[in-house]
Each structure stands twice: as C-alpha cells, then as structure tokens.
C-alpha cells in the first residue's frame, strides 16, 4: 500500500522514507520571527491552552539572562513576540505569541502571578470562522437598568477573581483519598466543592431584583407587541392579509414547479454571480441551495451535503476551468 496525493491533476505517490522527510519540520525550537504591539492580539485568538516557559542553565548557559532581558523589554514596550514553535519531536509547527507576564503579589507579600513568558498558539486562516450576521433587538433602557441591579448584586468581592479561593474539587478529592489510604483513615463520602454556587445567598441578594427585571421585561414585551400590531393595521399588512395573499402565490409557484420541472433553479444565482463570489473568496456567503443548484447545472456535486464540501467542489470547478 502506497500513499498518494494529487497535485495539479496528477497522482504522485511517496515512499515511507519520503513521507517521513516531508513530515519532519526539524528539532524542537522556539524561534522569534518578529514583534507586534500587544494591542494587536485579539481576545478571540485562542486555539489551545497556553504554555508557561522558564529558563534553564543546564543545556544553554546564559538562558536566564536572555530570558530576563526579553521579558523586561516586552513588558516595558508593551509588545508581544511572534515565534515559530515546535514543542517536541515530530510535532506540528505553529505560530505562537510570546506574552510577558508581570509579577503580582498580595498585600501580605504573597506571590499570586509569577513573572515569565506565556506561549499562546495563534490560529491560522483556516481556523477562523465567520459568524452569521444576526440583527438583535436591543432591550429598552428600563430593562437594561433593572438587569444592571442584578449584575451588581452578583459581582465577586472587589470585582476580582481569586483562584486561591476555589481549589480544584476533583484534584482535592484525589488528594483526600490518598491521605485516607496513607494514614489508614476512613474515606469520606463526598468532597468539598467550593465551585458550587450558593443558591440561597444568591436568591436572598438578587432574587427581588430578578423579579423586578422580569416584570419590566414583560411590560416592554407587551409594549413591543402593541407597537407592531398598530404598525400592521396602519400599513394594511396584517397577518390575515399576508396569509391570503401568500396562498395564491404559493399555489402558483407549485404549479410552475410541476409544469417546468427545475424552473426554480433559475431563481438562484447565475454562473457570473458564482464566479464573482469565487474571485472575491466569498463562496461561503452563498446558501447551500444556491451551491447545489449551480453544481447540478454542471452535473456535479451529487451526494454532497455539507456546505464546506460544496464550496470545495465549486472551487475545483473554476480552478479546472481556468487550467483548461
């Protein structure tokens, strides 16, 4: 069995040795390729968990000095490093951001955040998804004001999350069992979980405000219904009239479909429209129905259901047409 790949329409096979060379991107390395302002790193660029690194003098003498100089320079200039990162042997290389972490201590002098560098994996263009455009209805100001009261009652002390106050319940349970086995104690029935919300305190502090918010929301909804109903009556486009007008239209469309077969396909985008979307790299904005209709016109895409596969099929169609 030999693995093969298609390049430009030709099938090219590789041996096991050639595949190993292709997949080998070199030894583990963290190579800085440039620097960017820290403000350019978006919040949504979060693909995997970050890695905290620290220097060692065992393999490279002077690592601590270089590490400290880089860490202080990044903090002072408010910049991040962009690096080519291979974490271990035979691992896939990634582009990462080197983010400096400043040291923070409590009032008692206890360290809460150590100084160092975080390696954050950056997404490639294929990893970024564009959410659909949705027009949300904004809540009235009185409803927002009532919800603001609820949020104020549910804020953390001093508005700061302290991880020292919430130990990992699963890990603590594991340690508790180890302690019981080592000291020959009875295994407790359940572990203490400080992450469980305190429902009684929440209800006592925010319950009345939640009720007031619900009343304000119901009143705003009734006002919204009255405004829309009066708008329908004023314009003469009520639901009854729309349903009466829609009935003959739907019947006519069914009749045309029965007589013309694929007559509704003409309502979709033309080949020029699809070509324009292809040239602008905007095929994903077309609907599944439009993509299927276009492929059906060229006897392509049979059995393809997913939108991503349909986009790939249309892309291959235009690429083959340009090469031909």
State the SS3 of 173-184.
HHHHHHHHHHCC
- The CATH number covering residue 161 comes to 1.10.1600.10
62: left (phi > 0), else alpha (psi -120 to 50), else beta?
left
Distance CA 212, CA 190 (A): 38
Looking at the structure, tell me whether residues 215 and 266 fall in a common domain.
Answer: no
Q: What residue has token string 């190993």? A: 20
- The CATH number covering residue 87 comes to 2.40.290.10
Two structure tokens written together for 154? 């549910």
Q: Let me know if residue 1 belongs to a domain.
A: no
- Total residues found in the chain within this entry: 324
**What is the structure's pLDDT at 230?**
66
Distance CA 169, CA 180 (A): 16
Looking at the structure, tell me whether residues 117 and 155 fall in a common domain.
Answer: no
**What is the structure's pLDDT at 234?**
60
If one counts the domains in the chain, the total is 3
Looking at the structure, tell me whether residues 308 and 267 fall in a common domain.
Answer: yes
Q: What's the distance, CA 207 to chain centroid?
A: 33
Distance CA 160, CA 156 (A): 6
**What is the structure's pLDDT at 256?**
40
Q: Let me know if residue 270 belongs to a domain.
A: yes
Q: Let me know if residue 26 belongs to a domain.
A: no
Q: Is the pLDDT of residue 254 over 50?
A: no
What stretch of H or E contains 119?
Answer: strand 116-121
Which pTM was predicted?
A: 0.47
DSSP letter, residue 269: -
Q: Work out the pLDDT band at 31, boundaries 50, 70, 90.
A: very high
Give the pLDDT confidence of 168-215 residue by residue, as tens digits. Answer: 888 888 888 898 889 988 887 777 788 888 888 888 889 999 999 999
Q: Let me know if residue 313 belongs to a domain.
A: yes
Q: What's the distance, CA 161 to chain centroid?
A: 23
Looking at the structure, tell me whether residues 63 and 122 fall in a common domain.
Answer: yes
**What is the structure's pLDDT at 253?**
43
Q: Work out the pLDDT band at 297, boundaries 50, 70, 90.
A: confident
Q: Let me know if residue 249 belongs to a domain.
A: no
**What is the structure's pLDDT at 37?**
95
Q: Let me know if residue 58 belongs to a domain.
A: yes
Looking at the structure, tell me whether residues 71 and 98 fall in a common domain.
Answer: yes
DSSP letter, residue 28: S
Of 66, 99, 126, which residue is a domain's last?
126
Q: Is the dihedral of CA 106, 112, 114, 120 positive or negative?
A: negative
What stretch of H or E contains 289?
Answer: helix 288-297
Q: Let me know if residue 40 belongs to a domain.
A: yes
β-strands 94-101, 116-121: how paired? antiparallel
Task: Please give the residue range of the domain that contains residue 277.
Answer: 261-323
Q: Let me know if residue 21 belongs to a domain.
A: no
DSSP letter, residue 262: S
Q: Is the pLDDT of residue 42 over 50?
A: yes
């Amino acid at each position: 069995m030999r693995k093969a790949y298609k390049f430009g329409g030709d099938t090219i096979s590789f041996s096991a040795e050639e595949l190993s060379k292709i997949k080998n991107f070199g030894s583990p390395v963290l190579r800085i390729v440039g620097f960017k302002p820290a403000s350019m790193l978006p919040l949504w660029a979060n693909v995997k968990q970050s890695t905290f690194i620290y220097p060692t003098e065992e393999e490279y003498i002077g690592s601590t000095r270089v590490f400290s100089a880089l860490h202080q320079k990044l903090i002072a200039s408010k910049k991040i490093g962009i690096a080519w990162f291979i974490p271990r042997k035979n691992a896939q290389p990634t582009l990462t951001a080197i983010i400096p972490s400043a040291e923070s201590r409590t009032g008692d002098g206890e360290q809460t955040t150590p100084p160092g560098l975080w390696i954050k994996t950056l997404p490639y263009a294929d990893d970024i998804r564009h959410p659909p455009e949705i027009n949300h209805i904004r809540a009235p100001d009185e409803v927002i004001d009532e919800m603001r009261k609820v949020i104020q009652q549910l804020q953390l002390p001093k508005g700061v999350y302290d991880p020292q106050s919430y130990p990992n319940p699963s890990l603590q349970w594991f340690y508790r069992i180890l302690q019981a086995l080592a000291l020959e104690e009875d295994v407790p029935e359940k572990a203490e979980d400080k992450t469980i919300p305190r429902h009684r305190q929440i209800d006592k502090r925010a319950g009345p405000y939640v009720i007031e918010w619900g009343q304000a929301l119901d009143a705003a909804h009734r006002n919204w219904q009255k405004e829309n109903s009066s708008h329908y009556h004023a314009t003469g486009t009520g639901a009854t009239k729309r349903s009466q007008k829609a009935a003959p239209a739907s019947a006519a469309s069914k009749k045309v479909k029965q007589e013309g077969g694929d007559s509704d396909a003409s309502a979709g985008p033309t080949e020029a429209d699809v070509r324009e979307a292809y040239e602008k790299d905007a095929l994903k904005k077309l609907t599944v129905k439009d993509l299927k209709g276009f492929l059906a016109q060229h006897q392509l895409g049979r059995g393809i259901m997913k939108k991503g596969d349909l986009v790939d099929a249309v892309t291959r169609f235009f690429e083959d047409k340009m090469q031909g």
